[in-house]
Amino acid sequence: MSLPKPWVRGMEREIAHTDAVCSQIFQLLEAFPRFKDQVLDKIVADSNEQRGAATSPSRGIFILQGPAKMIQTVAMVTMKGTASSTAARLKPVSSRCKWVPADEFLEATKNIRHGIEGLKERMDSYEVHREYVAVVIIELPTGELTCQHTTGRGVPNVEDRGPWEFVLDHGKERASARPSFNYNGSITPQRVSPDRPVPDHIPKPDYYASGIPTAEREADARSTPPVLNEKQIKKMRKACRLGREIVDEVHRMIKPGITTDEIDRVVHDFTIENGAYPAPLHYFNFPKSVCTSVNEVVCHGIPDLYELQDGDIVNIDVSPILDGWHADLNETLLVGNNVSQEKKNLVKAAHDALMKAMGVCKPGVFYRDLGAVITKHVNGCGFSVDKTYCGHGVGEYFHCAPNIPHYAGNKAKFTMKVGHCFTIEPMINMGTWKDTHWPDCWTAVTKDGLPSAQFEHTMVVTEGGVENLTQRLSTSPPLWWEVEERADMPIGPGLASDDERLPKANMG
């Protein structure tokens, strides 16, 4: 018997909607990294209690079942919600979820005709403590059931305050799905949390609301390097000391499993607690308070859900604004105990190139000559200097004259004068010097996917050279070679005590 044509067309439309509907639900679950511990784990516990089973994590699947139109409505209502907490925002979804333990799997899925392939294997292999399996079952007009399934991952150590999405267009837009790109390195962009608030009592730059640093763009300092007086330098010292303390605070927390978003939280809170504003936040719409550049990321990495892995390197770039003056510094740190020797050499080469460039700075030196010093050292180590980004003047403005390229043969203007304040920040790549950008338009990555490392200091020109305003302190955590040097120092009668073996303050 043939079915009426309108009915057939309606069924075809229903089937055509299935992929889109399931994708909407899965993207919603992914957008809330606290979904597992705030919602699903409680559903499991309640189910186990009702069944008289153990309350510890158990294996099974979560099912959301219904007609496509109903599930689509649930997704739309949830997306338009305004609650920030996961439990409140996803109540339309969770109220219709059903937990099916592994021993009831066959009975619960026996009537599904399409899409069930691989579900049993997925349920048997996911990591119970960190992951979950979600299944969307669509009831077709024929009475048949079709499904799609996915493995989700919970991240319990991040803040529960709204949906996390992917960044687009320099931070002006967000997307629910990862944008397509030839990600040829070790990492891919992860979801980014909502912007962190800045209290009313913290002075904010003009770009906080607009995203455009109008005052900086219109300042004479954009074309002529400012000369700071002693009062202004004193304010720069305070801002730079705070910047150093922020980097050191992050250094102490670096370990495998920490998300780069957690680094952003620490930087943001530490900056605010000290009465300062984190300059990267909303600067040309950058969405976070610090740049976290992992492995092949050259610079401007956006903190997200990525969890640092043993063997990674990560650059931390901070810029607090204190009493109207900007600090700017960064360091590349090792994650865990299994960083390759080649990566460690890369980090050391970036640091030493900066130190050598600082060593030639003094009144009368051409800014263009720093690139040759850096390039000679870096090439001698077997690495290359990124040519896209440069050091810059800093002080009353985040970026101003002079521009300071890090490669040989550049045509930078100006010579150093007492009172000039600027950064040197060479980005050193393991392979090619060429870079490209992710679709967020901020994250610069090496063209060949090989690692990159960077160090940066803010300095002011003095009569005899430069004063390193962001220098490391006696309390600063040691860098990797300082750790090894300390381990090699002997201890015994008449030899260095443990306290004396701690790294001292230095230009690095």
Cis peptide before 280 (omega within 30 of 0): no
- CA-closest candidate to residue 207, choices 285, 267, 321: 285
Distance CA 471, CA 457 (A): 7
Distance CA 79, CA 98 (A): 21
DSSP strands (E only) in 290-377:
291-294, 297-299, 313-318, 320-322, 325-326, 329-334
173 touches 287 (CB < 8 A): no
Q: Is 425 annotated as a binding residue?
A: yes
Give the single-character DSSP code of 289: S
Q: Is 218 annotated as a binding residue?
A: no
Q: Is 173 annotated as a binding residue?
A: no
Q: Is 170 annotated as a binding residue?
A: no
Long-range contacts for 265-274 (Cβ within 8 Å, ≥24 apart)? 265/159, 265/196, 267/316, 267/318, 268/196, 270/245, 270/246, 271/242, 271/246, 271/318, 271/320, 272/198, 272/199, 272/202, 274/242, 274/245, 274/320, 274/322
Q: How many whole angstroms from its chain centre is CA 389?
A: 19
Residue type, 423: T
Residue type, 149: H
Residue type, 80: K
Q: Is 351 annotated as a binding residue?
A: no
Q: Is 300 annotated as a binding residue?
A: yes
Distance CA 15, CA 18 (A): 5
Q: Is 216 annotated as a binding residue?
A: no
Say what angle helices 260-273 and 230-253 make with each other, to 10 degrees. 140
Q: What is the dihedral of CA 403, 405, 411, 416, to 10 degrees?
A: 60
| DSSP secondary structure letters along 164-219 | -BEEEGGGTEEESSPPP----SS-----BPPPPP--TTS---THHHHS--HHHHHS
Greatest alpha-carbon pair distance for the chain in Å reads: 101
- Binding region for substrate: 300, 399
- Binding region: 300, 317, 328, 392, 399, 425, 456
- Binding region for a divalent metal cation: 317, 328, 392, 425, 456
